[in-house]
Amino acid sequence: MAVAEQEFDDVVYEVQDAAAIVTINRPERYNAFRAQTVDELITAFNLAWSDRRVRAVVLTGAGEKAFCTGGDVKQRAETGDYGPSELNRFRIGELHKIVRDIPKPVIAAVNGVAVGGGHVLQVLCDVSIAAEHARFGQAGPKVGSFDAGFGSAYLARVVGEKKAREIWFWCRIYSAAEALEMKLVNKVVPGDELMAEAKRWVSEVAALSPTALRFLKQSFNADTDHQAGFSNMAMTALDMFSTSPEGMEGANAFAEKRAADFAPHVHWH
């Protein structure tokens, strides 16, 4: 069954041969996502799931600067949330789930900076191919946010506990070469070869048994599916934390291009 291709505002969805190419298209915000972007990404992944032509999905960002920089912090500073959405919900947890559950390989083609929730997306893809100039890291604690679901627990499965804690606690930015060394990505290629390389991976996988691949993906996932429970709790916590004075200080500081002052919020019990 061929599924109709669809027009979106924040996402470009195309089917080329066996590949569904899903491009986050907000280059002026370094491909940061707002609630509408997340809705559209979920619809795009559903289209790719149902389309028998599609044997693998390539997730990438528009332009050469950014893959995705996570939540749109300027939107958050303005309205305290990630803006309007189809169902009046910010469905990032559902996006994480469909990237994992779609029974076809998902390839991140990391064409630039992958930071914050954008980095979590590349981590959740089955494999990642990076441009030489791509950069990687988590940013939540800088801007009053965190992903205590797949973003932390699954990252630790990929790079190990020590490295995952370093990545989250220090919010450093890593080069593509460092990402390859810590097994955060599968391959690094020159920027102008990235999409051709990703498409090559799709055409190779398209020759294999789709049912075998489906079972294998579900088998890999089964080992970490319990992390979806943490993810649900983390998203509830984030709903509350991101609008707190501490959370908003992070978002406002980013929008105002100043260092955040979290000192008034040191209070543990």
Ligand X SMILES: CC(C)(COP(=O)(O)OP(=O)(O)OC[C@H]1O[C@@H](n2cnc3c(N)ncnc32)[C@H](O)[C@@H]1OP(=O)(O)O)[C@@H](O)C(=O)NCCC(=O)NCCSC(=O)c1cc(O)c2ccccc2c1O
Contact between 25 and ligand X by CB under 6 A: the answer reads no
Is residue 145 part of an annotated ligand binding site?
Answer: yes
Shortest Cβ distance from residue 164 to ligand X (Å)?
Answer: 16
Contact between 32 and ligand X by CB under 6 A: the answer reads yes
User: Under a CB-based contact definition with an 8 Å cutoff, are residues 129 and 107 in contact?
Assistant: yes
Phi/psi zone of residue 86: left (φ > 0), alpha (ψ -120 to 50 degrees), beta? alpha
End-to-end C-alpha distance for the chain, whole angstroms: 57
Kindly list the strands in the beta sheet with 113-115, ordered across the sheet, starting from the edge strand earlier in the chain. 66-68, 113-115, 135-137, 174-175
- Selected from 145, 152, 227, 231, the binder of ligand X by CB under 6 A is 145
Contact between 140 and ligand X by CB under 6 A: the answer reads yes
- Selected from 106, 139, 184, 205, the binder of ligand X by CB under 6 A is 139
- Selected from 102, 176, 188, 238, the binder of ligand X by CB under 6 A is 238
Is residue 110 part of an annotated ligand binding site?
Answer: no
Shortest Cβ distance from residue 25 to ligand X (Å)?
Answer: 14
Report the b/e string of 214-239 with b at 16+ CB within 10 A.
eeebeeebeeeeebbebbeebbeebe
Contact between 122 and ligand X by CB under 6 A: the answer reads no
Q: Which residues pair with 61 in a beta bridge?
A: 24
* Count of Cβ atoms closer than 10 Å to residue 175 Cβ: 15
**How many residues of this chain interact with ligand X, rule: CB under 6 A?**
25
- Comparison of 93 and 105: residue with beta carbon closer to ligand X: 93
In the complex, the residues that contact ligand X under the rule CB under 6 A are: 29-30, 32, 69-74, 90, 92, 113, 115-117, 139-140, 142-143, 145, 147, 173, 235, 238, 242
Residues in binding site for substrate: 82, 113-117, 145, 257
